[in-house]
Amino acid sequence: MRRPALYSRSSRADTGADNPAHPPPAEAGATAAAAQSQTAATPLPSRSSRFTRYLALHQFRLLWTVVALLSLMLALSLSGALHPAARILTQKDINAAVLKTLETTVLPSPAVKAYDAIIPSVVRVVGLGKPSKDKAGEEHSDRSVGTGVVITDKGVILTNLHVVQGAETIKVTFSDGMESTATISGAQPENDLAVLQAHTIPDDMIAATLRSTADLAPGDQVVAVGYPFGIGPSASSGIISGLKRTFRSPEGKQPMTNLIQFDAAANPGNSGGPLVTMDGEVIGIVTAIYNPNQQRSFVGIGFAVPIENAAAAAGMTPF
């Protein structure tokens, strides 16, 4: 007797009665035929169909597992559990960072910082004499060139008296190029100082910062800023060579006292300019250079009036 198929329907099992080549089985086989007929009427699911359902169910469970895992990771991330605790910086870490910065960064020199701080307050001062004609009939006027420093934002300027004394017209040029006439509003002949008032000033006028000389000492670094021989603004750096010096210029009628001696280069034209610290703060007004040979050139010794004396000429007592 032929065995019925288990996983696919056999058309032969259903059409045996109508097939003349295969007559119906005997009665003894009727029960088996009936069973075969019942099996054919209710087919079993195929192997591929059951595998497909199994795979779909497995994928569905895997998907939900992944979703659950991602949800857990998100919750842990929001709670900070996946982030390592921030390490506390130590002094050693800070020192290492500072050292690395110093090794890889080119810092400006102290003189550069001093110059940048004071330059907005430095002015070029020109004193013009009464116009006259020479033998050729050409008109000209005597002129002297020096430096000044703005000490208030109203345009009050300190300079040397010998730069502007006897001038018919005084002109000042500010750091931004603006020019103005000025008049003498005060003087201190014993220290060769003059106080100027500019008639017009820049809108953003910046006054210099004045600093007490009480704690100065020989060896302190200084910068002199001005217009030596009319060239500038120019800067030169050096140190304080001495304090409380006395100096009498060749044309001076009386000696100047309590002067700051310094070795930053100064020449004619530096007169009236500021002597500043490395912070760009004014400690003195350059007033004279030592000229043993009357050459009017720098030989390594310059003198400045302490800012306390200079400010007094303008009626100020800053310290």
Give residue 136's region: left, alpha or beta (phi > 0; psi -120 to 50): alpha
> Position of tokens 């116009």?
131
Given 121, 144, 180, 192, the catalytic residue: 192
Phi first, then psi: what are they for 142, rounded to 5°? -70, 145
Q: Phi first, then psi: give them for residue 9, nearest 5 degrees.
A: -70, 140
Tell me the C-alpha distance between 305 and 262, whole Å: 11
**Residue 200 vs residues 127, 157, 186, 300: alpha-carbon distances, Å:** 17, 12, 18, 37
Q: Which is catalytic among the residues 121, 144, 162, 237?
A: 162
- Rounded distance between C-alpha atoms, residue 55 and residue 245, angstroms: 104
Does the annotation mark 192 as catalytic? yes
Q: Is 162 a catalytic residue?
A: yes
Computed on alpha carbons and rounded to an integer, the radius of gyration of the chain in Å comes to 51
Query: Catalytic amino acids?
Result: 162, 192, 271
